[in-house]
Amino acid sequence: MAFVVNTLPDYVEQRKGELLQKAVLDFETRKYVNLMTGVKYKEALNILATDPVLQTRTCGFDASGNVSFTQRVMTVAPYKVNMSLCEEDLRKKWMNDQIIVKAGGEVLPFEEKITDNIIKKVNNQLENLIWNATDASNGFDGLLTIANAEASVIDASKGASDYETAINVYKAIPAEILDKAEIFVGEDAFRSIVLEITAKNLYHYNPEVDSAKTIILPGTNTKLHGVAGLNGKG
């Protein structure tokens, strides 16, 4: 008698799926954006806008106002990571005692540490790409690239400090979207802002929110997030 397993996937495939999920879903900014699944190349987002016009009430009918439809095309850039790891390279080194020989193969030493480190590095790269990617180099545009190309983007004035700049950004947010707006800065600017808030005795924030990388900007109801993808961007 024997086990018949030829119709089952190899275990490595199950592990691969787990690693892929962690690599794609665990980078920092991912927590604040919606994930579109199933896009193989390009997909259009259909955007609706209306501008109804209030008119003086009179007899008759005078049509005024429009319903406008526009699109933004989302483009997917495929990426992969290929690494070849052979336990034979380690056999003559200090970690040879970690190689476990067993029937059917050998166990790679430090497997979990290696894969966790790979996932962390992939997440760091995705975090940077989602903000800073350019189509010419990366196959898609990041959020900063898109914003810099949009004529409708509002530029807030730079303050004497990161905190003052954040306040200027808050003031520049249009009133009609203020209840939904959130502010993003680099982790470096975030630390600077928190320190200045503390120095000004503005203790009206909760540093425990979202692992201390999110606060409510004092005097407002607007969240301020620190993300690694904006480090060094001012």
* Each residue's pLDDT tens digit, 144-173: 999 999 998 999 999 999 999 999 999 999
List beta partners, residue 182. 223
Report which of 232, 196, 190, 228 is spatially closest to residue 32, judged by C-alpha positions: 228
* Contact yes or no for 26/123 (Cβ under 8 A): yes
Q: Phi, psi (5° rounding) for residue 129?
A: -65, -40
Sign (positive or negative) of CA dihedral 156, 160, 166, 171? negative
Q: Is the pLDDT of residue 105 over 60?
A: no
Query: Where would I find the beta strands (DSSP E) of the chain?
Result: 42-50, 67-75, 100-102, 105-107, 182-186, 214-216, 223-227
CA distance 18 to 35: 17
CA distance 16 to 118: 12
* Each residue's pLDDT tens digit, 114-144: 788 888 888 999 999 999 999 989 988 999 9
Report which of 101, 134, 127, 121 is spatially closest to residue 186, judged by C-alpha positions: 127
* Each residue's pLDDT tens digit, 90-102: 666 655 556 555 5
Q: Indicate the pLDDT class of residue 18, thresholds 50, 70 and 90.
A: low
Sign (positive or negative) of CA dihedral 206, 180, 221, 218? positive
Q: Is the pLDDT of residue 82 over 80?
A: yes
3-class secondary structure, 50? strand
Average pLDDT, the chain: 81
